[in-house]
Structure 1
Amino acid sequence: MKDEVSIMLDQHYLNILVPVDGSKEAELALNKAIAVTKRNGSQAHLHILHVIDTRAFQNVSSFDTSMVEQVSETAKETLDEYVQRAQTAGVTNVDYSIEYGSPKAIIAKEAPKEFNADLIMIGATGLNAVERILIGSVTEYVTRVADIDVLVVRTTTD
């Protein structure tokens, strides 16, 4: 038992994945992910992920590629700011990616493999209550399906 406890306390995460969607909860997760990455040393890597849910465009009758380009450009600007925030806080090994598709599948399965993540730090919820009822919580899905540790962030770093 003592060995198990010391292993848990000595856990170092070297590849931290933090999905962001612009919500307050995702910002909390990002702030904590920055702190955890710093605490795990210079070899730790922070990967910030934004998934553009392509299902959101399926019901738009006048869909054109400029809509996706506009959403992508806005996401890129925000992610550039997040990277700068992490670097200012002292995280030297940080990058981001923008993916397209189902946030649930990408965050839970695809991205952890692609980025060799050993921890997902995710906000408690990024959707409003009605969306959670209709399509289910991405966070809930990730905690059930991911093959790596998932830390659900509910509080600030204070």
Structure 2
Amino acid sequence: MVKDYQKILVPMDGSKESEAALARAIDLTKLAGDSATLSILNVIDTRVFQSIASFDDTMVDAVADQARKSLEKYQKQAQDAGIKNVDYLIEYGSPKALIANDVPTELKTDLIVIGATGLNAVERFVIGSVTAYVTRAAITDVLVVR
């Protein structure tokens, strides 16, 4: 069954739960064989910046630079574990839509491995978690890691 998953997507937000999801995604990618691909995703939620009165592009650039550094670390972790085909991408916009639909469609993902909870407790309380949305709306299989 694992061999069916050749394009695995793991969204990362720096939380312990997303790091557990990355570890599981690495294991699954290794089981799937050398032709499997692991894509590590970070979504910068641009809605956060819309509410900041003194917003400027340097804020987004700083967040993107930090995301890039984290993703490079995660990519190296996967490579050190023996994953041959690993890449990362940074997207901007709504994490829910990008993780559940847009990125999996673009990458032809057949499995999303996601942490049970992430960093944004306020959003989870007010409008529901990204993970809950992804499990309901994703265009592909989803594995939730606790």
Fold match (TM-score > 0.5): yes
Structure 1: runs of 5 or more not aligned? 1-8
Q: 1:13 aligns with which of 5, 26, 47?
A: 5
Structure 1 residues 1-158: aligned runs within 5 Å: 9=1, 11-154=3-146
Instruction: Tell me, yes or no, if the aligned pair for 2:46 and 2:93 is still in contact at 8 Å.
Output: yes
Partner of 1:4: none
Give the Cα separation in 2 of the matches to 1:17 and 1:137.
Answer: 18
In structure 1, distance between residues paired with 2:40 and 2:125: 26
Unpaired segments ≥5 residues, structure 2: none
Displacement of 1:127 after TM fit?
3.4
User: d(CA) in 2 for partners of 1:103 and 1:58?
Assistant: 15
Q: CA deviation at 1:11?
A: 4.9
Structure 2-normalised TM-score? 0.96
**Percent of residue pairs identical:** 60
**Residues 25-60 of structure 1: CA distance to partner in whole angstroms, max 9, x if unpaired?**
000000110110001000000000000000110111
**Deviation of 1:10 (Å):** 5.9
Counterpart residue type for residue 42 of structure 1: D
Q: Distance in 2 between matches of 1:149 and 1:11?
A: 14
- Structure exhibiting the larger radius of gyration computed from Cα positions: 1
**Size of the alignment, in residue pairs?**
146
